[in-house]
């Protein structure tokens, strides 16, 4: 799934480790096509290290600064914008629906909820899985604060079987489908459209007009087409906000 996703990002430095021959060939072919810069552990070994906080092979990390020094960033430049954003003070589009949040069920053991936090003016992220119940569901970054993006973009995505590994699913992010855009405490229903991997995804409302996001961070979710994506009511959102970090 990764090659088509990062093709929107103006030849990013792609850090990775481990892959069967088909995966490895896909990454090398993508580099040859100018889609990405291969910065694997085999190419930039000195930038990678193992930590003692987890068991191998789940403890491999990278120093981004060293990675850039080793592979260079002269060809990347700033990535072209993917989304459309509102100017400061601009109103939301007509027809938005105020919502308290959304729950996305990725697997029976992994449920992600975004609850609108009016104080932070962002969507607090929570995850209930095999390791976390409601009380410990607040999703925090490495510095401790809870992840709370200003926008959450849900693209209902078809999946198939990966050519590299039959048990592995592959997301097909070229095409079109239903989009749910959560911004400033509201839902904007629409569609995502991406005719080719060389183009960024476009978010369009019911009239075909680009959906403007709130300036700030945007998290994108790619739930399987037909998978549960459910709006939550205010009491449910309040239960999550009570354990926010």
3-state secondary structure of 76: coil
Round the CA-based radius of gyration of the chain to a whole number and report it.
19
Q: Distance between CA 243 and CA 38 in Å, rounded? A: 40
Q: What does the alpha-carbon distance between residue 67 and residue 41 come to, in Å, rounded to a whole number? A: 10
- Position 76 scores a pLDDT of 65
Structure tokens at 109: 């053991």
The confidence band for 90, taking pLDDT boundaries of 50, 70 and 90, is confident
Query: Does residue 78 register a pLDDT over 80?
Result: no
Strand (E) or helix (H) holding 5: helix 2-6
Measured over the CA atoms of residue 105, residue 144, residue 83 and residue 74, the dihedral's sign is negative
pLDDT at 245 over 90: yes
Residue 94's nearest CA partner among 190, 30, 176, 191 is: 190
10 pLDDT tier (thresholds 50, 70, 90): confident
- Look up the pTM and report it: 0.90
What are 185's two structure tokens?
């405490």
Q: For residue 57, is the peptide bond before it cis, meaning its omega torsion is within 30 degrees of 0?
A: yes
Residue 89 has pLDDT above 90, yes or no: no
Contact status, residue 93 vs residue 211, Cβ threshold 8 Å: yes
Helix (H, G, I), strand (E, B) or coil at 107: strand
Q: Token pair of 33, please?
A: 């096509």
β-strand partners of 171: 159
Of 211, 219, 238, 216, the residue nearest 104 (C-alpha): 219
> How confident is the model at residue 11, as a pLDDT?
86
∠ CA 201-205-211, nearest 5°, is 60
Report residue 39 as tokens.
């910065």
Question: Cα–Cα distance between 147 and 155 in angstroms, integer?
Answer: 20
Give 75's pLDDT tier (boundaries 50, 70, 90): low
Q: Which helix (H) or strand (E) holds 106?
A: strand 101-107
pLDDT, tens digit, 9 for 90 and up, residues 91-110: 888 789 999 999 999 988 89
User: pLDDT digit string (tens) for 120-170?
Assistant: 999 999 999 999 999 999 999 878 889 999 999 999 999 999 888 888 899
């Amino acid at each position: 799934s990764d090659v088509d996703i990062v093709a929107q990002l103006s030849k990013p430095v792609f850090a990775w480790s481990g892959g069967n021959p088909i995966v490895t060939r896909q990454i090398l072919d993508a580099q040859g096509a100018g889609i990405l810069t291969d910065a694997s552990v085999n190419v930039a070994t000195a930038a990678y290290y193992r930590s003692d906080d987890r068991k191998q092979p789940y403890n491999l990390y990278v120093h981004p600064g060293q990675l850039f020094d080793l592979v260079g960033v002269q060809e990347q430049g700033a990535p072209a914008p993917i989304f459309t954003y509102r100017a400061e003070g601009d109103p939301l589009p007509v027809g938005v629906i105020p919502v308290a949040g959304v729950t996305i069920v990725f697997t029976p053991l992994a449920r992600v909820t975004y609850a609108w936090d009016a104080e932070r003016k962002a969507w607090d992220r929570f995850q209930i899985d095999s390791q976390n119940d409601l009380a410990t569901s607040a999703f925090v970054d490495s510095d401790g604060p809870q992840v709370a993006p200003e926008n959450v973009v849900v693209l209902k995505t078809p999946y198939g079987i990966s050519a590299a590994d039959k048990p592995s699913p592959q997301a097909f992010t070229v095409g079109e489908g239903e989009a749910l855009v959560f911004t400033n405490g509201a839902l904007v229903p629409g569609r995502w459209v991406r005719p080719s991997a060389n183009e960024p995804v476009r978010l369009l409302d019911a009239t075909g007009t680009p959906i403007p996001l709130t300036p700030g961070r945007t998290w994108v979710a790619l739930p399987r087409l037909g998978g549960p994506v459910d709006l939550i009511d205010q009491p449910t959102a309040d239960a999550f906000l009570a354990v926010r970090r």
